[in-house]
Amino acid sequence: MKAKFSPRLFVLILSLAVMVVGLSGCATGPKNSFNKDYNEKYPGAPMYSIDDQGQNQFKLIVHQGSPIQGPPRILYMKKAADIIAASEAKKRGWQDFDLGYVQETDRGWMHVLVAEVTKKK
């Protein structure tokens, strides 16, 4: 008995394969997601990225758009930056570091905080 090619079955199998691949990528989440390091349950938890500036320094960019507005959001983001900087410094084997805020920008719904982290000698 000869098998019959079914275009519908092919489309269904292809759709399932794409869905599985897409969901497996979503399960890992973004590499720089702050949710894993700080407060998974908080809506609008900050995201961050790290920009290496050499062996003894990196720039930390924290950004968040959320219902928190005004001074509470700035304090929340600075606390987040403190925790991220300490975590990254520990990964690098640094015993002590300086954290300096370089820039804060409020774009209405989005707040961006840029900090420089330098290893103490």
pLDDT by residue (tens digit) across 44-71?
Answer: 667 888 989 989 999 998 887 766 667 7
Query: Residue 33 above 90 pLDDT?
Result: no
What pTM, to 2 d.p., does this model score?
A: 0.62
The pLDDT of residue 100 is: 93
* 106-114 long-range Cβ contacts below 8 angstroms, 24+ apart: 109/65, 110/63, 110/64, 110/65, 111/63, 111/64, 111/65, 111/73, 111/74, 111/77, 112/61, 112/62, 112/63, 113/61, 113/62, 113/63, 113/74, 113/77, 113/78, 113/81, 114/59, 114/60, 114/61, 114/62
Question: Does 34-119 carry CATH code 2.60.40?
Answer: no
Hey, where are the domains in the chain?
34-119
Residue of higher predicted confidence among 49 and 72 = 49
